[in-house]
Amino acid sequence: MAERNILITGGAGFIGSHVVRLFVGRYPSYRIVNLDKLTYAGNPANLADVERCPNYTFVKGDICDMESVCDLLLRYEIDGIVHLAAESHVDRSITDPFAFARTNVMGTLSLLEAARRQWDGRYDGKLFHHISTDEVYGTLGPDDTPFSETTAYDPHSPYSASKASSDHFVRAYHDTFGMPTVITNCSNNYGPYQFPEKLIPLCINNILHRRAIPVYGSGDNVRDWLYVEDHARAIDTVFHRGCPGESYNIGGGCERRNIEMVKGIIETVDRLTGKAPGTSLDLITYVADRKGHDLRYAINASKLADELGWRPKVSLDEGLERTVRWYLDNRAWTDSVTSGEYMRYYEAMYGGR
């Protein structure tokens, strides 16, 4: 019998696959059940190295299907949930907000309700850990202090509005039903297995194909970047030692303007592919700004550092180097996820550029 039975939702996606890999490797006495619908963003190949581990089980399914989720919680005697499944791309939320309300809001509610029914007030040893984003806090001016856990929610995109709503439902299940919950709000992640619709893998892929790199607006928007394995470690820390009812911010303490990031990626790719420095700078193409584009995100992660001792370990230089090397070594992975639906998406977003 397993010591614990943990459900991870969205484990075939970018961050989820790193969380599954960490938990499966680090906790051989746990059974890890990964529930994933395998949308365009979910890919079993992200977990090819994990799929035969005896403590790992994959279940294809939709978090919105509450009856099936109830069955799954019962069948595997789930006592902990790490909830990552979501629609996660801001640009897609602008063209299809309903998909975000369905998965991020209704899906989270369905998961909460299934857990409430299954756990039925027996909350000892149970935990619902909801993975959220810093984007719920809205946007900062250049001199504003970084977001803390007490910053008022002020989402602007359909994506961040849906994540904010899901956070509120998680808190409501804690406050109303006494369910032990924790929420983590993390800054922008990067690393291996990120779907190439997001800035960093999109840049790497476009440089390798000598395609234009679309920089929205002036390129002066600021993001706080965190290497994905540091996020997975933070989730592990909060899942095991976080205080129920609390939320924790997670961030890299590493703010960069988008244009600086793009230039850093170009430098790294050119160097690692043996090109002269600056070869790919000509690909930088300023395009129309994203609607409602938040200017700046920055995270104050001192609560997590002071109370639970987590700090990021991987610097931006080291993380970018590892990330670019991974994409160079795994071009078949990128090729497999950039056919079909991706090309239609890309054409609609960026046209012939």
Where do contacts with ligand TYD occur on this chain (CB under 6 A)? 90, 188, 198-199, 202, 214-216, 221, 223, 258, 290
Tell me which H or E stretch contains 256: strand 255-257
> 202 or 320, CB closer to ligand TYD?
202
- The rounded distance, in Å, linking the Cα atoms of 341 and 303 is 41
Which amino acid would we find at residue 244?
P
Tokens in use for 263? 């230039």
Q: Has 77 been annotated as catalytic?
A: no
The nearest distance, CB 145 to ligand TYD, in angstroms, is: 19
- Segment near ligand NAD (CB under 6 A); pick from 82-90, 121-129, 311-319, 333-341: 82-90
- Per partner kind, with CB cut-offs from 5 to 8 A, the member of ligand NAD, ligand TYD, none near residue 139 is none
Check residue 36 for interaction with ligand NAD (CB under 6 A).
yes
- Per partner kind, with CB cut-offs from 5 to 8 A, the member of ligand NAD, ligand TYD, none near residue 64 is ligand NAD
Give the β-pairing of 188-190 and 222-227: parallel
Measured torsion, CA atoms of residues 289, 292, 293, 296, in degrees rounded to the nearest 10: 150
Of these residues, 36, 62, 87, 134, which one is catalytic? 134
Residue nearest to ligand NAD (CB): 13
- Segment near ligand NAD (CB under 6 A); pick from 13-21, 66-74, 141-149, 272-280: 13-21
Which amino acid would we find at residue 203?
C
Check residue 192 for interaction with ligand NAD (CB under 6 A).
no
Is 324 in a helix, a strand, or coil? Answer: helix
Compute the Cα dihedral for 304, 306, 307, 308 and give only its sign: positive
Check residue 100 for interaction with ligand NAD (CB under 6 A).
no
Q: Has 159 been annotated as catalytic?
A: yes
Tell me which H or E stretch contains 57: strand 56-60
- Per partner kind, with CB cut-offs from 5 to 8 A, the member of ligand NAD, ligand TYD, none near residue 202 is ligand TYD
Q: Is residue 225 within 8 Å of 298, Cβ to Cβ?
A: no
- Residue 192's contacts (CB-CB under 8 Å, 6 or more residues apart) are 228, 322, 323, 326, 327, 330
Check residue 200 for interaction with ligand NAD (CB under 6 A).
no
Rg (CA), the chain: 20
Of these residues, 137, 159, 248, 346, which one is catalytic? 159
- Per partner kind, with CB cut-offs from 5 to 8 A, the member of ligand NAD, ligand TYD, none near residue 258 is ligand TYD
Q: Which of 186, 204, 262, 299 binds ligand NAD (CB under 6 A)?
A: 186
- Per partner kind, with CB cut-offs from 5 to 8 A, the member of ligand TYD, ligand NAD, none near residue 161 is none
DSSP string, 137-206: G----TTSPPB-TTSPP---SHHHHHHHHHHHHHHHHHHHH---EEEEEE-EEESTT--TTSHHHHHHHH
Tell me which H or E stretch contains 241: helix 228-241
Judged by CB under 6 A, the number of residues near ligand NAD is 30
Of these residues, 87, 135, 167, 270, which one is catalytic? 135
- Segment near ligand NAD (CB under 6 A); pick from 85-93, 116-124, 259-267, 329-337: 85-93
**DSSP letter, residue 232:** H
Residues at the site binding ligand NAD, with contacts judged by CB under 6 A: 9-10, 12-16, 35-39, 41-42, 62-64, 84-86, 88, 103, 107, 131, 133, 163, 186, 188-189, 195
Known catalytic residues? 134-135, 159
